[in-house]
Amino acid sequence: MAESFFSDFGLLWYLEELRKEEFWKFKELLMQEPLKHELKPIPRTELKKASREDLAKLLDKYYPEKQAWEVTLSIFLQINRRDLWKKAQEEIRHKINPYKKCMKDKFHLIWEKETCLQVPDSFYRETIKKEYEELNNAYTSEEISEGSPTVVLKGSEGIGKTTLLRKAMLEWAEGNFWKGRFTFAFFLNVCEMNCITETSLVELISRDWPASSEPIKDIFSQPQDILFIMDGFEELKFDLTLENNKCNDWTQQQPIEIILSSLLQKKMLPESSLLIALGPIGMQKIYFLLQHPKYIVVSGFSEHERKLYCSHFFCEKNKAMKAFSFVRDDESLFAVCQNPLICWLICCCMKWQLERGEDLEIVCQSTTSLYASFFINVVKAGGENRARLKGLCSLAAEGIWTQTYLFYHGDFRRNGLSESDVLRWLGMNLLRRNGDCITFIHSHVQEFCAAMFYLLKQPKDNSNPVIGSITQLVAIGLRKIEACLSQTGLFLFGLSAEKITKMLETSTGFQLSQEIKQEIIQCLKTLSQCGSNETELDFQELFNGIYESREKEFTAKVMDFFEEVTIHIGNTEELVISSYCLEHCRNLQRLVLGIENIFLDDSESNSRNWKLIFWQDLCSVFSTNKKLQVLELDNCSFSDDSLVVLCKAMAQPTCKLQRLLFHCVSDIGDGPYFFKAILHNPHLKYLNLYDTSLSYTAVRQLCETLMHPMCNIEQLMLGKCNITDEDCEDIASVLICNNKLKHLSLVENFLDDEGAVMLCDALKHPNCALETLVLNYCCLSSVSCDYISQVLLCSQSLTLLDLGSNTLKDNGVNSLCEALKNPNCHIEELWLANCLLTPDCCKDISSVLISNKTLKTLKLGNNGILDVGVKQLCVALNHPNCKLQNLGLDMCGLTTACCEDLASAFTACKTLRSLNLDWNTFDHDGVVVLCEALSRLDCALQTLG
């Protein structure tokens, strides 16, 4: 019966949902639709007079079972009743496809066996209530009609992202979540794909696809009803950023990284939806591949939930109360219990201590100390000996170095571990089952055990060669070559602390290696001596490691290696860590600092004050470090309070800063503090405010500061600062009053010709001492050139003028040339790149090259000079009076036709040292002509670009 394909409703129910005009349209289309399916049509006479009930019977009679389904659903789409089509599809598939049942059974088992929370379902639902609602709304709200969303569960490691994904998958399979939204949801644990080389998306899905289900190609025909849930990117060993190839064919065999990258970037099944869990390392790996992601932050346990968790974890009420009281009384311990994984670790430690009748004791000075406490309690609870622990830690280290997180029994045996060892650790929840494999309860536990391997290792041991040395671990971790090694390296820093080592030795009775700290120090010394091209040291990773050990002597010794530091601070924790490390950096000469999302929108006064204290500590480095000369603030966002703290530190008499750069800083405000800092620092010679928005008031205050006799600024960069012609009057006053200012850049500001006129009046003044003026992209026209020409005749100091990327055109340059031919013109470098020049201006430029004895550099790149123009210039270059040393002709539309002329100039012009011919279309013959000229002994050219 056809109705069996339409669940309990029957075909008649669907037909009765049609409005009168839709029903008539349905019958009309039914006369033609069967032909598309190679079926015999229902006789027109029967069809025309059929009621809804009659039509249901006719469909059953003429098109038994699946044929009726195909015809009917096709017509539903044609009459714009997608709602009926979707409901029928869902009901049919739920009825005839066992996939959902298969997923229900699979994830029910995972939920029961593979989660370490082990709490009542009602408690878990309460803890993720907010995230659960956000997750549901992300795919079902009206806003998503624009496209299929990519949703990211974001949070720290162990905060509960994987658990929430598994719960969502189980709820969907049980029909309780995303009702009517997704017909199919596929859970992809990308960690399990590390061993796969090539596959197709169909093959990936087929692993969980019941044999009795409909063909997968039918499922993928409606991708808007599919959700891909993806987890485990932290453990993925492939670098998805290196893969430029994309694939949109879900049946095609491809390397696994192409499949994943194509899914993430919506190149494959773009109408499908994505749900991805990303921790900090995962975010670094793939966030930029995602298309308009929506973020849901997983926040962990509230204070009340921490208490409830303790009561669920401990069966006996008195033990639960004792454990919670212990945690609550330790502020640090209570804070870290917000993270469910850490909370579980701490509860395990307390449980084992209570079972042994010991006093509760957990060290919580760092992440390493917490895991060390857990490790100690594992040793005591299991009665472990050194050999077994070393075997376990060796396995963990092998996994980290080979990016393996799923182990087989053979892996344990190879490391000297028995079946009973594995069963004992499974019982303690140190390990857990994952299908046929075994994995550590969490990747952080494996990473800690991997770090412990280096403490347990003895000089005589023959370790697996895949395990790298301490030096390799530190170097790779700090250079972020392999992100998965970073956390192991962090634990290694923590374990090098004398206090942690002694705690482990005392509690376990094992003698541990004492060489770790010295090896780390030697490695960091070597890294500090590498050139910037040899290594890209991630200072945030280094700072994290140093702070993990928190030994002042070690910190000072390590930080003394570095004269330059680049650090980006993105959260309060990074601010605290950076403050601690930079305070010990006694040889620091250059600091590049980015700071975002710290001070803005901070409504809580306690939180704000706390952050400002650490910010003040960091800023104290600017005044206490006598070697610090360069401070670059890159992409920073400040509040008024934090900006005041910064400026007061720079205004201290002990501040020795000579160069200050503000790149893309949100705002310097209109208050006096920033300008006081400039004024009160006698060492400050260079100020760069590129891409920092300046108000009219700020520009005026800056100019007043620059005109003060105490101000010693010699180089001023104000590119892209929203300066307009209205500000030029104040800037002009500076040029007249400040004879210390030698270099001024106003690139990418809308000065217009009106602004140029005001600047030119100042540049002509006898008191103006400016030597370099850069006016790139300042919206100047040929009108400005008449005024600039007067400057060239009057100024005794100006030697470099950059007018590039302005619409000067030939007539503007011709005006400049008249001034350049005058013997009173002292300009040495003139940059005219991208000024809409043609060959017509080259005759005047040639005259300048012959007559001007001071002009040494001329840049004409990205202009339509063409071969005709170059031939004219070469006439001048061949002249004995030409003194030009550097000529730029890149992107000038040159061809082989001008190569003979250029070759002649190579040998004739004895002063020409550098010529840029990049991005011109010379053929082989032209290049040969140029090379032959270069090889001649009388060729003075040194650089050809």
DSSP 272-302: SEEEEEE-HHHHHHHGGGSSSPEEEE-----
User: Is pLDDT above 90 for 38?
Assistant: no
Question: pLDDT at position 721, please?
Answer: 92
Taking each helix axis from N to C end, the angle separating 66-78 and 20-30, rounded to the nearest 10 degrees, works out to 120
Reported as a pLDDT band with limits 50, 70 and 90, residue 74 is confident
Q: Is 848:878 a contact under the CB 8 Å cutoff?
A: no
Question: pLDDT at position 215, please?
Answer: 67
Question: pLDDT at position 69, please?
Answer: 74
State the pairing for strand pair 254-255/198-199: antiparallel
User: Is pLDDT above 60 for 206?
Assistant: yes
Q: Is 194:237 a contact under the CB 8 Å cutoff?
A: yes
- Separation of alpha carbons 670 and 796, rounded Å: 35
pLDDT digits (tens, 9 = 90+) for 374-414: 999 888 887 888 889 999 999 999 999 998 888 999 999 99
Question: pLDDT at position 846, please?
Answer: 95
3-state secondary structure 185-254: EEEEEHHHHCCCCEECHHHHHHCCCCCCCCCHHHHHCCHHHEEEEEECHHHCCCCHHHCCCCCCCCCCCE
Q: Which two tokens stand for residue 514?
A: 């004492």
Question: pLDDT at position 613, please?
Answer: 92
| Residues whose CB falls within 8 Å of the CB of residue 731, separated by 6 or more in sequence, listed in order | 699, 703, 723, 744, 746, 758, 759, 762
User: Is pLDDT above 90 for 708?
Assistant: yes
Q: Which residue has the higher pLDDT, 268 or 118?
A: 268
pLDDT digits (tens, 9 = 90+) for 880-901: 999 999 999 999 999 999 999 9
- Separation of alpha carbons 605 and 533, rounded Å: 44
| Residues whose CB falls within 8 Å of the CB of residue 391, separated by 6 or more in sequence, listed in order | 412, 415, 416, 417, 421
Question: pLDDT at position 448, please?
Answer: 94
- Separation of alpha carbons 561 and 549, rounded Å: 17
Question: pLDDT at position 214, please?
Answer: 59
Per the listing, tokens 């005749």 go with 793
| Residues whose CB falls within 8 Å of the CB of residue 440, separated by 6 or more in sequence, listed in order | 396, 405, 430, 431, 432, 446, 449
User: Is pLDDT above 70 for 142?
Assistant: no
User: Is pLDDT above 70 for 583?
Assistant: yes
Mean of pLDDT values over 477-499 = 85
Phi and psi, residue 821, nearest 5°: -80, -10
Residue of 758, 748, 755, 752 lying closest to 717 (CA atoms): 748
| Residues whose CB falls within 8 Å of the CB of residue 55, separated by 6 or more in sequence, listed in order | 15, 26, 27, 30, 47
Question: pLDDT at position 4, please?
Answer: 41
- Separation of alpha carbons 489 and 281, rounded Å: 14
pLDDT digits (tens, 9 = 90+) for 360-379: 999 888 999 999 999 998 88
pLDDT digits (tens, 9 = 90+) for 335-344: 999 999 999 9
Reported as a pLDDT band with limits 50, 70 and 90, residue 117 is low
Give CB contacts under 8 A, 24+ apart, made by 420-429.
Answer: 421/388, 421/391, 421/392, 424/382, 425/382, 425/392, 428/348, 428/378, 428/381, 428/382, 429/116, 429/348
What is the overall mean pLDDT for the chain? 88
pLDDT digits (tens, 9 = 90+) for 257-311: 888 888 999 999 999 999 999 988 888 778 888 888 999 999 999 999 999 999 9
Reported as a pLDDT band with limits 50, 70 and 90, residue 210 is low
Question: pLDDT at position 288, please?
Answer: 82
Mean of pLDDT values over 653-657 = 92
CA-angle at 675, arms to 671 and 678, nearest 5°: 155
Per the listing, tokens 């008024």 go with 640
Per-residue b or e along 356-390, where b marks 16 or more CB atoms closer than 10 Å to that residue's CB = eeeeeebbbebbbbbbbbbbbbbbbbbebeeebbb
Reported as a pLDDT band with limits 50, 70 and 90, residue 553 is very high
Question: pLDDT at position 146, please?
Answer: 55
- Separation of alpha carbons 890 and 886, rounded Å: 12
Reported as a pLDDT band with limits 50, 70 and 90, residue 7 is very low
- Separation of alpha carbons 715 and 735, rounded Å: 12
Question: pLDDT at position 861, please?
Answer: 95
Residue of 559, 572, 558, 649 lying closest to 610 (CA atoms): 572
Mean of pLDDT values over 546-564 = 93
| Residues whose CB falls within 8 Å of the CB of residue 24, separated by 6 or more in sequence, listed in order | none
User: Is pLDDT above 80 for 533?
Assistant: no
pLDDT digits (tens, 9 = 90+) for 793-829: 999 999 999 999 999 999 999 999 999 999 999 999 9
User: Is pLDDT above 70 for 2?
Assistant: no
Q: Which residue has the higher pLDDT, 443 or 771?
A: 771
DSSP per position, 407-455: B-HHHHHHTT--HHHHHHHHHTTSEEEETTEEEESSHHHHHHHHHHHHH
For the ranges 73-87, 591-605, 773-787, 855-869, which has the lowest average pLDDT?
A: 591-605
User: Is pLDDT above 90 for 752?
Assistant: yes
Residue of 805, 657, 825 lying closest to 815 (CA atoms): 825
pLDDT digits (tens, 9 = 90+) for 844-876: 999 999 999 999 999 999 999 999 999 999 999
Give CB contacts under 8 A, 24+ apart, made by 122-127.
Answer: 123/305, 123/308, 123/309, 123/312, 124/163, 124/167, 126/305, 127/160, 127/301, 127/302, 127/305
- Separation of alpha carbons 261 and 241, rounded Å: 8
Question: pLDDT at position 192, please?
Answer: 83
Q: Which residue has the higher pLDDT, 425 or 600?
A: 425
Phi and psi, residue 52, nearest 5°: -60, -40
Please tell me the pTM assigned to this model. Answer: 0.79
User: Is pLDDT above 60 for 623?
Assistant: yes
Question: pLDDT at position 865, please?
Answer: 95
Q: Is 117:239 a contact under the CB 8 Å cutoff?
A: no
Residues written for the chain: 945
Report the DSSP beta bridge partners of residue 150: 274
pLDDT digits (tens, 9 = 90+) for 657-690: 999 998 888 778 777 889 999 998 999 999 999 9
Q: Is 628:659 a contact under the CB 8 Å cutoff?
A: no
Residue of 185, 194, 293, 276 lying closest to 231 (CA atoms): 276
Q: Is 565:588 a contact under the CB 8 Å cutoff?
A: yes
Question: pLDDT at position 93, please?
Answer: 61
User: Is pLDDT above 70 for 484?
Assistant: no
pLDDT digits (tens, 9 = 90+) for 144-153: 555 689 999 9
- Residue 215 region, left (φ>0) first, then alpha (ψ -120 to 50), else beta? beta
